[in-house]
């Protein structure tokens, strides 16, 4: 009668080796999972930092593009466009009326007015205008001005040689200053059929409080913030 062979019982050393092998696989699997989690965390954090930096840089980048191209009703301040051939008045019978308006935010205690209501120019002719700001409060305040042109499609032809826009203006308590705007309209304005029926252009400035005295962040005159408008009567 043939005896059935009994299965061999693994010795203790074999069991220990198998256990070590299983433990090593588990540790390797755990390390790979931790690495993937760290990678995902770093990627998410980097992406968040990137978009945060993009958000902070979007406004100055957009402003710089607008200043070079005239987008968004922003007059051009690119000095490469101030070549001598652009500063020759065009011989035309039509003069363009440039009107000056302004406003200050409700939280800025400044009196802000244009010193002239309007000027008449031809394309290529330079003109100088002034705005006056007075700090009506009893403390020093820093303000900043933004500006726009109306109609918007004229902005690409409106060139500023000198202005006080996008620069901090510090006024002591009760101080009053006159701020110049030196500009011209590109001669190509007269050649553009889309500009044929445009006789009036408005240059508008908005002044807002750049820094609060209690150290809060900058504020701009946007949305439904109360504004104080000024024009020369």
Segment 153-163 shows an average pLDDT of: 90
Asked whether residue 182 is assigned to any structural domain, the reply reads yes
C-alpha to C-alpha distance for 100 and 158, rounded to whole angstroms: 14
Q: What is the pLDDT of residues 175-194, one digit of tens each?
A: 999 999 999 999 999 999 99
CA angle centred on 189, ends 192 and 69, rounded to 5° = 100
| pLDDT class of 199 with cuts at 50, 70, 90 | very high
Confidence (pLDDT) at 34: 73
Q: Is 144 in the same domain as 202?
A: yes
Segment 204-227 shows an average pLDDT of: 56
Among 69, 93, 116, where does a domain finish?
69
Dihedral-angle region of residue 174 (phi above 0 means left; psi in -120 to 50 means alpha; beta otherwise): left
Segment 15-22 shows an average pLDDT of: 64
Q: Is 100 in the same domain as 38?
A: no
Q: Is 44 in the same domain as 103?
A: no
| Burial state string for 95-109 with b = 16 or more CB within 10 A and e = fewer than 16 | ebebbbbbbbbeebb
C-alpha to C-alpha distance for 136 and 228, rounded to whole angstroms: 14
Asked whether residue 6 is assigned to any structural domain, the reply reads no
Domain that holds residue 151: 74-230
Work out the percent of the chain whose per-residue pLDDT is above 70.
59
Confidence (pLDDT) at 180: 93
In this structure, of 150-154, 163-167, 214-218, the range with the lowest mean pLDDT score is: 214-218
Longest dimension (CA), the chain: 130
Q: Is 42 in the same domain as 87?
A: no
In this structure, of 83-92, 144-153, 222-231, the range with the lowest mean pLDDT score is: 222-231
Q: Is 45 in the same domain as 95?
A: no
Confidence (pLDDT) at 26: 66
How high is the mean pLDDT of the chain?
75
In the numeric block, which tokens belong to residue 172?
Answer: 């002591």
Q: Is 206 in the same domain as 140?
A: yes
- How many structural domains compose the chain? 2
CA angle centred on 100, ends 96 and 105, rounded to 5° = 150
What's the pTM? 0.60
Asked whether residue 3 is assigned to any structural domain, the reply reads no
In the numeric block, which tokens belong to residue 10?
Answer: 């693994």
Asked whether residue 4 is assigned to any structural domain, the reply reads no
Using DSSP's 3-state secondary structure scheme, residue 223 falls into: coil
Asked whether residue 165 is assigned to any structural domain, the reply reads yes
| pLDDT class of 218 with cuts at 50, 70, 90 | very low
Q: What is the pLDDT of residues 2-16, one digit of tens each?
A: 555 555 555 556 656
* Torsion from C-alpha of 22, 28, 33, 36, nearest 10 degrees: -160
In this structure, of 85-99, 161-175, 204-218, the range with the lowest mean pLDDT score is: 204-218
CATH number for 216 = 2.60.370.10
Q: Is 23 in the same domain as 125?
A: no
Confidence (pLDDT) at 100: 97
Confidence (pLDDT) at 29: 73
Q: What is the pLDDT of residues 113-142, one digit of tens each?
A: 999 999 999 999 999 999 999 999 999 999
Segment 145-173 shows an average pLDDT of: 89
Q: Is 121 in the same domain as 226?
A: yes
Asked whether residue 7 is assigned to any structural domain, the reply reads no
């Amino acid at each position: 009668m043939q005896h059935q062979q009994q299965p061999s019982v693994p010795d203790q050393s074999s069991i220990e080796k198998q256990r070590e092998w299983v433990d090593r696989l588990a540790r390797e699997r755990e390390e790979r999972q931790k690495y993937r989690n760290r990678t995902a965390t770093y990627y998410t954090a980097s992406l968040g930092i990137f978009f945060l930096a993009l958000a902070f840089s979007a406004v100055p980048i957009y402003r710089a593009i607008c200043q070079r191209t005239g987008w968004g009703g922003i007059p051009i301040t690119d000095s490469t466009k101030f070549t001598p051939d652009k500063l020759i008045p065009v011989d035309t019978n039509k003069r363009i009326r440039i009107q000056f308006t302004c406003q200050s935010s409700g939280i800025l205690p400044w009196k802000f007015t244009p010193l002239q209501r309007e000027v008449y120019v031809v394309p290529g002719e330079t003109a100088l205008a002034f705005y006056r700001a007075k700090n009506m409060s009893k403390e020093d305040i820093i303000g900043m001005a933004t500006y726009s042109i109306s109609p918007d499609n004229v902005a690409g032809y409106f060139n500023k040689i000198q202005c006080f826009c996008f620069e901090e203006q510090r006024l002591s308590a009760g101080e009053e200053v006159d701020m110049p705007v030196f500009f011209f309209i590109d001669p190509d304005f007269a050649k553009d059929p889309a500009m044929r029926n445009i006789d009036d252009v408005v240059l508008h400035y908005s002044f807002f409080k750049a820094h609060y005295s209690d150290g809060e962040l900058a504020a701009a005159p946007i949305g439904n913030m109360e504004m104080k408008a000024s024009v020369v009567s």
